[in-house]
Structure 1
Amino acid sequence: MTISAARCGILLVAKRASDALSYGATARTAGILTRLYHVANLSTTTVVHPSVRALLCKPRAPFRVYSDSTGPEMLHRPSNFDRKILVWSKTYPSLGDIPEAVPHAKMKKAKDVFRIRVNIWMGVWTVIGCIVMIYWGRKSAREGNSLEKENMLWHQQINEQAKNKKV
């Protein structure tokens, strides 16, 4: 009975929590395994749906590389979007230069730089939008247009159409 067998598609369900704990399961997993056995009347070797298996299995250990003197260093396998972030933040010169696994600290720093740049550009475009709206508002005020005037004209048109329909 082992929890790692679940990765192969077979989940071994324990009759007692102590059985699961003796094979390296966490207390939470052991409780779930015993409940599965008692509630669902599962046999001790049962094929389980992958989503259930994902809940019960221990998560995979992060990818670690031991560096010279600092101890273990966590690495991140970047997705395509992560690779673009690494290039946009100028951590790497091109997509081809990015290794298969990037140090976690470098990836976090690149995402922070990207997040800051996105926020700055959102602020810049907001200020530009405000300036444009102020310009348009002042221009229409100089021409004598106002929302109150447009609203009055609209109501007059609606009232005239209603009178024409009654006649």
Structure 2
Amino acid sequence: MSLMRGKFLNLKYLFCATKAGFRGKINAKSFSEKPPDVNPKESVSHGMESLRQMVVPTDFHKRILVWTGRFKKMSDVPDRISAETLDKAKNKMRIKVSNYSIVATLIACMFMMASGRRAQQRGESLQKMNLDWHKEMSKKIDEERAAAAAALERKNMD
């Protein structure tokens, strides 16, 4: 109890000691007013190294990293990269692909509108095309029926 009342609890030191791998019992010495000299860069980077997952990029991943501007050439991509770097590059690529597909869709829509206007000026319409198709099919069916009737008549005559 007297430890908590009179002494300043340095949580930053406790955090750094835990990150650096402090595994001993916590006693009064570990809560001293002045923490020992610990290089915070070493302790934090040591903790982050163990948390960071490294992956071996495939050729497709290397292309994604180059297309997103992470590296200049495919030969510049290291043998192992962090999963976080690869995820960021993939997310950037997804955004680029979706933007390009939006632009391609808009261009296709404009092309179809222009094509429809030209067809309208020529006098073409879906209704007219449908009527023409039905007339053509009716003629074919009538011709087939006439040919079948003629064949049946010849057969009956023989």
Please report the TM-score for the alignment, with normalisation by the length of structure 1: 0.57
Shift of 1:74: 2.1
Hey, what does 2:83 align to over in structure 1? 104
**Letter matched to residue 113 of structure 2:** I
Range 69-78 or range 79-88, more displaced: 69-78
Whether 2:56 is the aligned partner of 1:77: answer: yes
Match of 2:98 among 99, 106, 119: 119
SS at match of 1:159: helix
CA shift, 1:123, in A, is 0.5
Q: Deviations over 1:39-75 (max 9, x none)?
A: xxxxxxxxxxxxxxxxxxxxxxxxxxxx843322321
Deviation at 1:77, TM superposition (A): 1.1
Task: Quote the offset at 1:89 in angstroms.
Answer: 0.6
| Residue segments in structure 1 that go unaligned for 5+ positions in a row | 1-66
RMSD: 1.4
More helix per residue: 2
Count of aligned pairs: 101
After TM superposition, the structure 1 = structure 2 runs for residues 8-157 of structure 1, keeping only pairs within 5 Å, are 68=42, 69-70=44-45, 71=47, 72=49, 73-157=52-136
Flag the structure with higher strand content. Answer: 1
Structure 1 or 2, whichever has the larger Rg, is 2
Report the residue type matching 2:83 in the other structure.
H
Counterpart-to-counterpart distance in 1, 2:89 and 2:124: 49
CA distance in 2, matches of 1:166, 1:134: 42
Q: Matched residues, percent identical?
A: 29
CA deviations 1:93-148 (Å, max 9, x no partner) are 01111111012221111111111100000100000011001111111011110010
Question: How many Å separate the matches in 2 of 1:132 and 1:94?
Answer: 37
> What is the Cα deviation at residue 164 of structure 1?
1.4
One-letter amino acid of the counterpart of residue 67, structure 2: W
Quick check: 1:158 aligned with 2:123? no
**Secondary structure of 2:53's match?**
strand
